[in-house]
Each structure stands twice: as C-alpha cells, then as structure tokens.
Amino acid sequence: MNLETKWLEDFVTLASTRSFSASARQRHVTQPAFSRRIRALEQAVGVTLVDRSTTPVDLTSEGQLFLVTARNLVEQLNESLGHLRGLSIANEALDIVAAHSLALSFYPPWISRLQKGLGELPTRLAAMNVGEAIHVLREGNCDLMLAYYDPFATMQLDAEVFPSFSIGKVNMLPVTLPDSEGKPLFAFNQDESLPYLSYTQGAFLGRSVRMLLKNDPLRMKLRTVYETAMAEGLKGMVLQGIGVAWIPDFCIREELNSGRLVRAGDEKWDIPLEIRLYRCSLVHKPGVEKLWRQMMRLPRDFLEA
C-alpha cells in the first residue's frame, strides 16, 4: 500500500469541513487537484471513504473508522517534525515555475531586485516550457508562475482565477552571426534562402514568431535547419554561425553589445512580449498572500525589470 502523507492530511481536513471547496482552500490547492488526491487515497486503501451524494459531504462507515487512524498518524508525524525543526511559515520557500529562458537569464536579476524592496525571499525555481508551467499552476503544484504573455498567441488564463503582475518587457530579436566585415551573415534582405533556427511546434515563443511570419513573404525564404524549445539552445546555434533565430533580448545583450551577434533585420521584425508573474487565487498559502500584498504596494517601475 502506497500512501502519501498529504492525502491523510487532506482526508482529515475534509472530515472537518465536509466541503471539497473549503478543504481545497485550507490545503492551498485547487479543488480539482484536491478531489483527485482524495480519490487516490481511496484507491490506495481500497474502499470508498467519502459519500459524495450528500451536501455537505459525509464519511462512509469505512471512512469514519479510517479517520481515527488518519488523525493519529498525522498528529504523530506533526509532533515528531515539530521536535526536529522549527516551523516558520514566514520563512517557507515559495515554489516558482518559469519558462527556461526566463529561469536562466531573467529570474536572477529580477529576484535580486525584488528582494531589495521586500527583504529576503526564499524560493525554489523549476524551469519548464510554458505549457507545462500552466498545467503545474492549474494543478496547484506550484505557488507562482513566471511566463511570457502575448495576447495574440498565449494560452489564455482566467484573470480572476489566475491574477498576475506585469514584471517586465522583452523584445524578440532576429539575430545572426556577423561576417568578417561585421555585417549580418544571414540578412533578411538577401535574395537567397536563409537557414532558420526554429522553436519547436509547442514552444510558446515559436507561436509568436509564426504569427509574425504568417502572411509575410519572408516565411518562404526561411528553411528550417534546426529546432528546439529553448531560446538558449537557439542562441548557441546562432553563435556557431548555423543560421538565424528570434531570441529574447535579455538573453543576448552582451553578445549584441560586443558585436558577437548582429540583427538579421531591422526593428520591424521585433516581437514585443510581456513577462508576468501569476498565482492561483483559489490557493491561499500564507507566504504567497504576503508576497502579493507586498508587491501591490511597490511602484510599477520597481516591479518591472
């Protein structure tokens, strides 16, 4: 039998509130995620613990018997952990998921800037593609999500359920290696076809580039020679002189300033995007609530990198 401690804690909370929605709020997860965890507990013990046909919900006879065991286990575990460590909600790390390029190039200077205004802020960061990050946020398996926002290409999130802060602006620039004279090795004004380093089909940034090129003749000149979901991967290939790619400007500032990379086209080919920090309003974790209140008091020019 494989039981997770959080399932037992979920069950004890549900027995107290007799409401899936209220229990989900107390457990800092979305209601669908909470419901799945209760079903996982029932599958693990092999019996139905909750009578879902009543309002408010009630426990089955098996559930009432199991509640005694669940409470004892949870209380004993909490007591043991309390002796092993001091529990401090204020210092609890926040779990943040972020797009790969944001995690590598944007997050370190941004969180450093934010901490100058708010003080020390313990965090755990996981990098993944935007689609995966949205799924993790919806499931209640992270506290915050750092992602690009494009009203024309993004997977939309309900603003009431998933409120957000704008924390930065970014331009996607088409760049290439320079030739021996410092001119673009692959320029959009060339007549011949150009080797194109592309984002994979499901990558968020790739959707933005495809929308820019959708009705433009340039699309016919670009022949794809490499694909990846990560902007840093495209940057590495551009630096090898393999082709042209659209890359967020904060990833290539040093290379542009030093001349190691140059534009393949002028500003009309730039793709403006916004960077936002999201949370789920259905989850009421104290650390997230505190951070959100503090950020609301900060001036916009301090929040945005």
Beta carbons within 10 angstroms of residue 290's beta carbon: 14
Domains of the chain: 5-84 (1.10.10.10), 89-169+274-303 (3.40.190.10), 170-273 (3.40.190.10)
Question: How buried is 89 (Cβ within 10 angstroms: 0-12 exposed, 13-18 middle, 19+ buried)?
Answer: exposed
Q: What is the pTM of this model?
A: 0.72
- CA neighbours closer than 13 Å in the CB half-sphere of residue 238: 33
Mean pLDDT of all residues in 30-48: 93
User: How far, in Å, are 76, 124, 162, 164, 287 from residue 94 at the CA level?
Assistant: 26, 6, 17, 16, 7
Strands (DSSP E) along 43-122, which ranges?
A: 50-51, 58-59, 94-98
Per-residue pLDDT, 247: 97
Q: Are 147 and 132 in contact (CB under 8 A)?
A: no
Give the pLDDT confidence of 254-295 residue by residue, as tens digits.
999 999 999 999 999 999 999 999 998 877 777 888 888 888
Kindly report the average pLDDT of the chain as a whole number. Answer: 88
Give the pLDDT confidence of 11-33 residue by residue, as tens digits.
999 999 999 999 998 888 999 99
Give the pLDDT confidence of 103-113 residue by residue, as tens digits.
998 999 989 88
